Amino acid sequence: MDAWRELLSPTRIEKAEQLQAERVRRNQQVQLVDCLQLSDKGQLFAKSDELRKLFWNRSRNEIRRIVKELESLRNNLAHSQPYTQENWNAILRLAGSLDGFLSNQTEYVATDSLQPYESDEIR
């Protein structure tokens, strides 16, 4: 079930376990994989032939480059920084990839992740 563990360093797994423990302390039940950083998840895709073929048919180097672009976009969004050309490239790549992710078998997509928010849930 957690075969991905062998693809990450013990330090990165320990960080995820610490975050999971903190979330459990706050009465949030999450799987360990949900506590990984974006860069960790990018490493999993880059290192796993199975994941790359199943979800994102790209080379290891291309995935690493795209994940760096996404991290930059995430950081700029989180810190209210202006967008760069690199950010727009990441936005275009991400939008183009969503079709592929959403067309995957439902066993790989949480069913509630595809449901629209109810207007009273957004506050």
Output the CA angle 28-29-33, nearest 5 degrees: 115
Highest mean pLDDT among 21-35, 36-50, 52-66, 109-123: 21-35
pLDDT higher for 104 or 32?
Answer: 32
Contact status, residue 37 vs residue 44, Cβ threshold 8 Å: no
Question: So what's the pLDDT on residue 100?
Answer: 59
DSSP letter at 81 equals: P
CA 121 to chain centre: 24
> Token digits for 100?
């592929």
pLDDT higher for 105 or 86?
Answer: 86
pTM for this predicted structure: 0.64
pLDDT higher for 109 or 77?
Answer: 77
The Cα–Cα gap between 77 and 94 comes to 15
